[in-house]
Structure 1
């Protein structure tokens, strides 16, 4: 039985705050490192940092070898393709477009749950999704919802849409019971298995980037610091927290917390520019919370 308690809320908020930092870091690294190479370096470093805790997953008797096909899919959806598509989207799309499209995750989560996992959304969940999206719209348009009409679609928007759909599939897969879930594996081994599988896919994608001559990296302290941050915070810590949050609250309710990412991104950007939070930030926060509370209510 899913339950939205204090610990689960803390896990999901931590993950979304770190992913907001990832979006900012990815944008700051544009021009310093190519997008697919960034993803490959990020996950390669994350795997090395996690190896001392999860190395037993590669032992001959590890359940990894019996579930390698499922883990390859998890690695593709949650680590490999999602992050590659995100960094590629940031090359051409604006921050407002990327975060707004990413905020459609609750809708995709409800749709995928209904089509592939026989979990029909309730009326309260649909209402909660609408209220939360309204809060996201207020953040992204700075209180001027009419600005949505002037937005234009580019290639990056389509990429982040695909990434959001794949992440919804990934989140649902995390809740599946069986020998390859976090409930049965030590957390470090399960996460390292996902990262390793995702790194294989990312290395394949990076091979194409290198072959096309588009791969590059400019090494300096600024670039190295940002890469270390995305390898530890948005990778190891955030993925661990998201896994715990999804198994605790369920993928549908957890998806609503993704709407905090654009809010946290706006607040972090404002803090970096020395701008205090505005009234619409508080209004958006309230609407997103209301949407989560409504969606988490059980039908009598």
Structure 2
């Protein structure tokens, strides 16, 4: 049975929305770096038989661009989810998912600063609108907190994660024609897990928090390792290939929607006015930034 690409993209965002809630739910049961390491260990074991033959055949391409592969592993695998899981020890899954929605805006900013790409008028306006929403969320809508720079450190850690994912996204874009998808994903998972291994060992040896093994903890590891990593990845890639990256990118805005619904239902998190207002501003800014001039035909003949 063949599913419409739109359904696959929505399904992927639903699974990723669940990732934020799962990360928050097990914050007291498993240390964050250990959780990230176990996620990628499970993902590697599951994805290895799927991508092994492709990786074997495409190894020369990977070897030729191995510096980029290492950077992808560092930013997209080792750093991003680890920082998200650390942040979820201090902030809500709703806030974290809303912070994650600023990824397109962060990409525009980095492209402007690092690649000297010019921002369009709509990208500049969208960036300002989204950043206003972010400030509203991390300050809890309090002007006093904003003026005192009194922010939730969990929100700031998640923003650091978004920065890492934005660098990862720019690298993916740059090496799109040079690095094959499946084999690159498998190798970056392996390298990212190896990067996390010493930090995991240090965390387990020094942190007072121990792993509380239970059905829910094991289920959470399997969810993030199989469902949020492999199933979501395959669904998203299939949808992107069918619809194109630009059209597919808009679907990422479903992540905070699903994360919020799950957080309210399963974690009893309260949806605050500041989150609603800030979230609307963030997502509106993303939509504004995707507007093209061609969507508004001129009244003047050329």
What TM-score, normalized by structure 1, do the two folds share?
0.76
Verify the 8 A CA contact 1:133 1:259 in the aligned structure 2: no
Question: Which structure has the greater CA radius of gyration?
Answer: 2
1:54 to 51, 54, 71: 51
Structure 1: where are the runs of 5+ without partners? 1-5
**What CA distance in whole angstroms lies between the structure 2 residues aligned with 1:54 and 1:97?**
35
Check conservation: 1:24, 1:265, Cα contact below 8 A: yes
Q: Relative to 1, partners in 2 of residues 1:115 and 1:223: Cα closer, same or farther, differing over 3 Å?
A: same
Question: What corresponds to 2:31 in structure 1?
Answer: 34
2:218 to 203, 212, 224: 224
1:175/1:241 CA distance change after superposition, 3 Å = farther
Report how far residue 266 of structure 1 moved: 1.4
Deviation of residue 78 (structure 1)?
0.5
Q: Which residue of 1 aligns with 2:121?
A: 123
Which residue of 1 is the match for residue 183 of structure 2? 189
Q: 8 Å contact 1:107–1:129 — kept in the other structure?
A: yes
| Structure 2 match to 1:3 | none
Q: Distance in 2 between matches of 1:136 and 1:17?
A: 22
Q: 2-side partners of 1:19 and 1:148: how far apart?
A: 32
> Which consecutive residues of structure 2, in runs of 5 or more, have no partner in the other structure?
295-302
User: What is the alpha-carbon distance in structure 1 between the residues aligned to residue 193 and residue 79 of structure 2?
Assistant: 10
Contact 1:35-1:88 within 8 A present in 2 as well: yes
Q: Distance in 1 between matches of 2:156 and 2:141?
A: 22
Query: What is the match of residue 171 of structure 1?
Result: 169
Quote the offset at 1:20 in angstroms.
1.7
Candidates 212, 234, 237, aligned match of 2:231: 237
Verify the 8 A CA contact 1:37 1:216 in the aligned structure 2: no
Q: Look up the match of 2:259.
A: 265
Would the alpha carbon gap of residues 298 and 132 (structure 1) be closer, same or farther in structure 2, given more than 3 Å must change? same
1:159 is aligned, of 157, 160, 171, to 157
* Segments ≥4 residues shifted beyond 6 Å: 133-138, 244-247, 277-289
- Give the superposition deviation at 1:286: 7.7
Matched length: 285
Instruction: Tell me if structure 2 keeps the 8 A contact 1:50–1:188.
Output: no
Aligned to 1:23: 20
1:36 aligns to what SS in structure 2? helix
Name the TM-score, length of structure 2 as normaliser: 0.76
Secondary structure at 1:59 match in 2: helix
Q: In terms of mean alpha carbon deviation, does 104-113 or 259-268 score higher?
A: 259-268
Supply the RMSD in Å over aligned alpha carbons: 3.9
Map of 2:245 onto structure 1: 249
